[in-house]
Chain A
Amino acid sequence: MTNKKTRREGRVAKTSYYATLGPYSLWAMFFILVPLVFVAYYAFTDNNFNFTLEHIQRFFTATSQVIQSDGSSKEVYTYLVIFWRSLKLAVISTVVCLVLAYPLAYIMARAEPKVQKTFMTIIMIPMWMNFLIRTYAWMTILQDTGILNNFLTFFHLPGVHIIGTEAAVVIGMVYDYLPYMVLPLYSIMAKMDVKLIEAARDLGCNGFGVLRRVIWPLSLPGVINGVTMVLIPSVSTFYISQKLGDGKFFLIGDAIESQYVANNLHFAAAMAFILMVVLLVCMGVMQVLTARHVEGGK
């Protein structure tokens, strides 16, 4: 009896759901798709809006000279190097985020509701701050004469040179994007049935076994979400590298920004377009791989 009733209510809800979807999809189309279409349009046109592959080509073929440590110079593919560097730093940041966020999310999900709320607030607070400010804050912390080094010298420890290294850029990105990793992991772990963990322990798993055979596979969808939400913005990030990397690690986001500022809209769009395609392919591959993994049991 109850079943029938909820089913009928469900149908009503669905009809009105589609009804409200109409205006929404128009809205979404306009504000999400139209900009994308413009990016693609600019990427494949020249200044007179005639079709061209010139900008795409430039991305793959432009070269420049770099001075190596022994003083000799070497010719490299300018944008491919930048792109590779962006990808590398983004992947490192994503992995660091995952390693930090996973146990944190697990502990949060198992804590008492009050503790969970406190954790959540602490994690959200940095997100309320403008990310330029956050980056400047990290500059003052990491500088050679910054808070961190003052702290170290106070305890008579040797200082560290971090600012201007890749590590500084990674720290900045991890700090910025950690919440986007924690939240999806936390939400999937909070939903996880504690009884499954007990069942695994009952059936012979020690702590690590439970993690490897039950918690990890069940949390995979959250891992995918978190990785997506961290990897994408960190690949295309800019500014962080300029400030924390001392301008030494020009990233693809910085390249796009500088071309845009220099009014090379078409080349900026071409780079954005290529980045988008690469990310889409990455995400697609990841979805397929994990879908196979998760379905492996079915």
Chain B
Amino acid sequence: MKKIIELKNITKSFDGETPVLDNINLDIYDNEFLTLLGPSGCGKTTLLRLIGGFETPDSGDIIFLGDRINDVPPYKRNVNTVFQKYALFPHLNVFDNVAFPLREKKLPKEEIEEKVLEMLSLVALKGFEKRSVTRLSGGQQQRVAIARALVAHPKVLLLDEPLGALDLKLRKDMQVELKKIQKQTGITFIFVTHDQEEALSMSDTVVVMSEGKIHQVGTSVDIYNEPVNAFVADFIGESNILDGVMLEDYKVRFSGQTFQCLDKEFMKNEPVDVVVRPEDVDIVPVEQGQLTGVVTSVTFLGVHYEIIVDVNGFKWMIQTTDFVDVDERIGIELEPDAIHIMKKSEYSNLYGDYSSFSNELDELSEVEEEDEDE
């Protein structure tokens, strides 16, 4: 695969002190759907703006198809952006918005018309040419923004949380559609989101970031199954993260028990973080359990139950289709492939215990966030 963009030791700070991007190294390949994933404020937009040419790095190089482009202005870069709030030109109609980059290139009229109409049909907006962009719904504006950014066939399309403002249903549709458009056009997409589900479902490559650093780069499956540290394990999906000690290859001890696992090449008796996904935990009768605990809460979520189990003070989250009752004592069994071992990091002990977990609290805070957005 051909490298299209290389980021080398990129550092960026706005106040000259706290780095917003801290030594970023990343290779982006031709024709891939790459997602920058991380919590709000971790530097995703800044990284995208560096690639688009709206910021320059304090140090490090941005290489585009072999050339250093640190100081190349945006209009000379073969990269286009779908902005967070679309940034459509309010004085132009749908057609003229999409035609904007083509007119700048002074293409002949017929060619412009042909390309614009082709793009509008790609984003399912045929027949809207004459419509004012101010009279479109959010989803339609989104499509115009995508068409406008794609019409000049850039090598790379940058998308900054493009689905953030859409409601859930529309969001799911657009996810599928974006993926389809990327396949059809063969253009490299660099997509920014703070929604891990969105990232996992759409991307060829996921880049997990926090606090201006890249933690892990990999396929969705890699990232989910083999998170490199407690931050990634916690940010991507649900995780029980426990303190453990690697006794020897394939043998780890935690919660006072020794378990078989598939990991090796740690030092003898090296302290580690142990990740167990809630859906990988088997519930067994107490006498067969490697661990035992008391159920403290049960939440029905449609496909499965989500239960919290207190095992000697550490609260596990388990997803199961079996019904158990609150206060029931159950046994827990872990297959070797349910266990993933990570090296200790600065994020150890920050995540992965569900003692303060409450579904209701989560929902409440989500509702509040939505209100603020309005």
- For the A-B complex, the count of residue pairs with Cβ-Cβ distances under 8 Å equals 72
Interface segment, B81-89, B272-280, B285-293, B316-324? B81-89
Residues B89 and A196 in contact, CB atoms below 8 Å apart: yes
Q: Are B96 and A206 in contact (CB under 8 A)?
A: no
> Which of B100-108, B343-351, B352-360 is found at the contact surface with chain A?
B100-108
CB-contact partner of A198 in B74, B88, B132, B371, under 8 A: B74
Q: Contacts of A3 on B, CB cut-off 8 Å?
A: 374
Would A204 and B54 be within 8 Å (CB), given that A294-B91, A297-B132 are in contact?
Answer: no
Are B75 and A199 in contact, with the CB atoms below 8 A? Answer: no
From known contacts A205-B104, A297-B92, infer whether A195 and B87 are also in contact, taking CB-CB under 8 Å. yes
| A201 close to B (CB within 8 Å) | yes
Q: Is the CB of A203 within 8 A of B100?
A: yes
Query: Does B101 contact A298, Cβ atoms closer than 8 Å?
Result: no
Q: A2-B371, A198-B83, A213-B100 are in contact. Are A204 and B89 (CB under 8 A)?
A: no
A217 at the B interface (CB under 8 A) = yes
A198 and B91: CB pair below 8 A? Answer: no
Q: Which of A2, A200, A213 contacts B374 (CB 8 A)?
A: A2
State whether B93 touches A201 (Cβ < 8 A): no
Closest Cβ neighbor of A204 among chain B residues: B104
Chain A residues in 8 Å Cβ range of B132: 297-298
Task: Confirm or deny: A214 has a beta carbon within 8 angstroms of a beta carbon on chain B.
Answer: yes
* In the complex, residue of chain A having the shortest beta-carbon distance to the beta carbon of B96: A297
| The residue from A198, A218, A298 contacting B87, defined by CB atoms under 8 A apart | A198
Is A103 engaged at the interface, CB distance under 8 Å to the other chain?
no
A200-236 interface bits toward B, Cβ cutoff 8 Å, 1 = contact, 0 = none: 1111111001000110011000000000000000000
Contact across chains for A201 and B104 when beta carbons are under 8 A apart? no
Instruction: Write the nearest CB–CB distance from A138 to chain B, whole angstroms.
Output: 39
Report the nearest A residue to B105, measured CB to CB: A204
- Provide the residues of chain B in CB contact with A201, threshold 8 Å: 53-54, 73-75
A35: min CB distance to chain B, Å: 38
**A204→B101 contact, CB < 8 A:** yes
A70 at the interface (CB under 8 A from B): no
| Chain A residues within an 8 Å CB radius of B87 | 193, 195-196, 198-199
List the interface of chain B (C-beta within 8 A of A).
52-54, 73-75, 79-81, 83, 85, 87-93, 96, 100-101, 103-105, 132, 134, 148-149, 152, 371, 374
Q: Which residues of A contact B (CB under 8 A)?
A: 2-3, 193, 195-196, 198-206, 209, 213-214, 217-218, 294, 297-298
| 12 additional contacts (CB under 8 A) given A196-B89, A297-B132 | A2-B371, A198-B74, A199-B87, A201-B54, A202-B52, A202-B53, A204-B75, A204-B101, A204-B152, A206-B75, A297-B96, A298-B134
